[in-house]
Amino acid sequence: MYKIKLFFATVLLLLAGVLPASAQFGDIFNGINKGREIHNATQEWTPEQEEAVGRASAAKMIHVFGLYDNPAMTHYVNLVGDTVAQFGTRPLQYHFAILDTEIVNAFAMPGGYVFITRGSLANISNESELAGVLAHEVAHVDGRHLEKIIRDKKLTGIAVQTGAEVGASQAGGIAGFAAGMVDQYAAQAITAALTQNYGPDKERDADKAGTEFAAKAGYDPAGLRNFLAMLAAAASDPANKRVTNMLNGKTHPPLKERVSKLTDLSATYPAGGQVLEKRYQQNVNFQAGSTTASAATPATTTTAKKSTKKPASR
């Protein structure tokens, strides 16, 4: 009987000691973790970490907009994307995909995941414009722009979203990140890409580097400029606000300002780059019967009417 009492007394004594000690040491552990976080925030992500965050971000992007399932068109976008990505400074494997939404935009996620929307493809009129848009996104990835934003946020302690908000974690504790960090970074990447500005310097850098990649690949260096000029004209009509809202001012500098700078920039490259309008029309044709259900479905009356004419002069 005495032994049992002694046992319970020891257990109680241990509990009494552990409880406050954990509170005391918690502070010390928190300090160590903070130090580790600051250290991690100053380190560039490894290719594996970048890939893990990129793929988790891609899943989120697909969840928000949907993936446009057209293998032939996606293959063509990958061919154009890889043609310009060859001239990037980092040996990264890029993956280009089409988002199933009418908005006009393109997004670059870490790890070489680049998305262009169905709405963008419908409004691009030749391959040099597509190359310009994709090259701009490649330049964001090449310059680790989104990664830098996330790492800066980590340093200043600004958390955009927590991992819990992202939902069930399937990618925690991998690639050298602590469990849940991949999802947290992916959430920050998506939030930054969809609702914030990269900053004028990063957009300027991406416009400059993107134009260079496209020109080096042999495309007309004015491709991105021409596409943005069309959008700038269309954006002045309030009826187009829904499709151009994200691109005009909120996540990017104002279109007119970019067009003006790109006009000067493209003039510095020799003329004579490829435009490839016919090849683009052959590969990106939403009205023609396509292998996919998406493109084979007839457009609604309103869209069919609208599809006959572009608003902006080029």
Interaction of residue 167 with other proteins, rule CB under 8 A: yes
Q: Is the dihedral of CA 99, 105, 109, 112 positive or negative?
A: positive
From candidates 53, 56, 206, 224, binder to other proteins by CB under 8 A: 56
Phi then psi for residue 237, to 5 deg, are: -85, 120
CA distances from 295 to 79, 168, 280 (A): 20, 33, 16
In 69-85, which positions are buried (b, 16+ CB within 10 angstroms) versus exposed (e)?
ebeebbebbbebbbbbb
Please choose, out of 144-152, 191-199, 202-210, 255-263, the segment that lies near other proteins by the rule CB under 8 A: 191-199
Please tell me the distance from the alpha carbon of residue 266 to that of residue 260, in angstroms, as a whole number.
10
Interaction of residue 196 with other proteins, rule CB under 8 A: no
From candidates 100, 178, 199, 269, binder to other proteins by CB under 8 A: 100
Smallest distance, other proteins to C-beta of residue 211, A:
15
Burial zone of 214 (CB within 10 Å; 0-12 exposed, 13-18 middle, 19+ buried): buried
Interaction of residue 94 with other proteins, rule CB under 8 A: yes
From candidates 219, 221, 222, 225, binder to other proteins by CB under 8 A: 219
Interaction of residue 243 with other proteins, rule CB under 8 A: yes
DSSP for residue 109:
E
From candidates 190, 206, 224, 262, binder to other proteins by CB under 8 A: 190
Interaction of residue 74 with other proteins, rule CB under 8 A: yes
216 CA to centre of own chain: 23
Interaction of residue 152 with other proteins, rule CB under 8 A: no
Query: In this complex, which beta carbon is closest to other proteins, that of residue 201 or of residue 300?
Result: 300
Interaction of residue 195 with other proteins, rule CB under 8 A: yes
From candidates 44, 152, 237, 277, binder to other proteins by CB under 8 A: 237
Q: Which of residues 111-150 bind other proteins (CB under 8 A)?
A: 112-113, 118-119, 121-123, 127
174: amino acid identity, one letter: I
Smallest distance, other proteins to C-beta of residue 27, A:
7
Smallest distance, other proteins to C-beta of residue 148, A:
18
CA dihedral 96, 101, 105, 108 (to 10 degrees): -40
The H or E element that residue 107 is part of is strand 106-109
Please choose, out of 32-40, 88-96, 142-150, 198-206, the segment that lies near other proteins by the rule CB under 8 A: 88-96
Question: Bridge-partner residues for 107, per DSSP?
Answer: 115
Interaction of residue 31 with other proteins, rule CB under 8 A: no
Q: Please, are residues 188 and 243 in contact by the beta-carbon 8 Å criterion?
A: no
| Count of residues near other proteins by CB under 8 A | 100
Interaction of residue 16 with other proteins, rule CB under 8 A: yes
Q: Please, are residues 120 and 104 in contact by the beta-carbon 8 Å criterion?
A: yes
DSSP three-state, residue 219: strand
Question: Bridge-partner residues for 113, per DSSP?
Answer: 95, 109
Please choose, out of 36-44, 139-147, 263-271, 301-309, the segment that lies near other proteins by the rule CB under 8 A: 301-309
From candidates 40, 78, 260, 263, binder to other proteins by CB under 8 A: 78
Query: In this complex, which beta carbon is closest to other proteins, that of residue 264 or of residue 300?
Result: 300
Please choose, out of 17-25, 35-43, 220-228, 260-268, the segment that lies near other proteins by the rule CB under 8 A: 17-25
The H or E element that residue 62 is part of is helix 47-65
